[in-house]
Amino acid sequence: MSLLAVHDLNKRFSSKNGDTHALKDIDLTVEKGEFITIIGPSGCGKSTLLKIIAGLDIDTTGSVLIDGEEVAGPSIDKGFIFQEPRLFPWHTVEKNIAANFSLKNKDVKKQVGELIKLVKLDGFAKSYPRELSGGMAQRAAIARALLRNPKVLLLDEPFGALDAFTRTHMQDALLNIWQENKTTMLFVTHDLDEAIYLGNRVVIMNARPGSIQRIVDVNLPYPRKKSDMAFQAYRQQILQEFEKTEQRDNELIGGSAR
């Protein structure tokens, strides 16, 4: 049985201007320990899909199962990382990671210490968010999610606000966390190179309405080099899929205008 199974998922938004079909007939299975990246044009429903899997939006049709159980709302078995770290400014790094757990509990304090080492924040346990760089703050947010030992970690463009150098460093840091912790990850991004660099599989989505166009297996060993010919071949393959998406969307727009 797959860890995550999404079947025939549909999502509509209603407004005074009518209904928007945000996601259409989404089918996706994810095995335990996989690193899945999701990419597609703006407005294709990538973030919406992540929020539905997280249980943050359950007004849908179809099914989302984790370990065979229907997702009915938020729970500790699903970690969620936003684009912003969302740390409490009045708490230190270790207190932010512990969140609702008490550091007076020896087991919690030990786990927090281990996670601080895992995300490479040694020496910053007593620091406050204002004293951290953007990348460091995001690593603290990832550690906070991992403390709950989630079955799946959902990351919604977590590096989108970082500069190019920090973003590259964070990609490597996240891969290290994934390889050491074996946590199943679903990662939404707008960055094609990032999707190929991180993912075991790249899910390519269409827009209008959001659907899965293709899933590409990335059969490259880690660590990957973006300049390698094999990496560039995957890049070209996925770019061609995007061209098909753009052609399809243009045809739909032209058809609706006639």
Give yes or no for residue 209 having a pLDDT over 80. Answer: yes
Q: How confident is the model at residue 247 (pLDDT cuts 50, 70, 90)?
A: low
Give the mean pLDDT of the chain. Answer: 92
Q: How confident is the model at residue 188 (pLDDT cuts 50, 70, 90)?
A: very high
- The predicted model gives 61-84 an average pLDDT of 94
In this structure, what DSSP letter does residue 12 have?
E
What pLDDT shows up at residue 208?
A: 80
Query: How far apart are the C-alpha atoms of 91 and 240, rounded to whole Å?
Result: 47
Model pTM score? 0.92
Name the CATH superfamily for 4-77+150-257: P-loop containing nucleotide triphosphate hydrolases (3.40.50.300)
Query: How far apart are the C-alpha atoms of 54 and 75, rounded to whole Å?
Result: 8
What pLDDT shows up at residue 31?
A: 97
Each residue's pLDDT tens digit, 94-104 = 999 998 899 99
255 versus 118: which is more confidently predicted?
118
- Using only C-alpha atoms, the chain has a radius of gyration, in whole angstroms, of 19
Residue 93: Cβ within 10 Å count: 27
What pLDDT shows up at residue 245?
A: 72
- The predicted model gives 111-127 an average pLDDT of 95
In this structure, what DSSP letter does residue 221 have?
P
243 versus 203: which is more confidently predicted?
203
Q: How confident is the model at residue 255 (pLDDT cuts 50, 70, 90)?
A: low
258 versus 73: which is more confidently predicted?
73
Q: How confident is the model at residue 250 (pLDDT cuts 50, 70, 90)?
A: low
Give yes or no for residue 258 having a pLDDT over 50. Answer: no
Nearest to 191 by CA among 167, 224, 216: 167
Give yes or no for residue 18 having a pLDDT over 90. Answer: no
Q: How far is CA 171 from CA 6, 19, 125, 189, in A?
A: 26, 37, 22, 12
- The predicted model gives 122-140 an average pLDDT of 96
Nearest to 12 by CA among 36, 40, 37, 48: 48
Each residue's pLDDT tens digit, 79-92 = 999 999 999 999 99
- The predicted model gives 145-169 an average pLDDT of 93
Give yes or no for residue 248 having a pLDDT over 70. Answer: no
Query: How far apart are the C-alpha atoms of 235 and 250, rounded to whole Å?
Result: 23
In this structure, what DSSP letter does residue 79 have?
E
Nearest to 185 by CA among 170, 200, 168: 200
For the chain, what are the domain ranges?
Answer: 4-77+150-257, 83-149
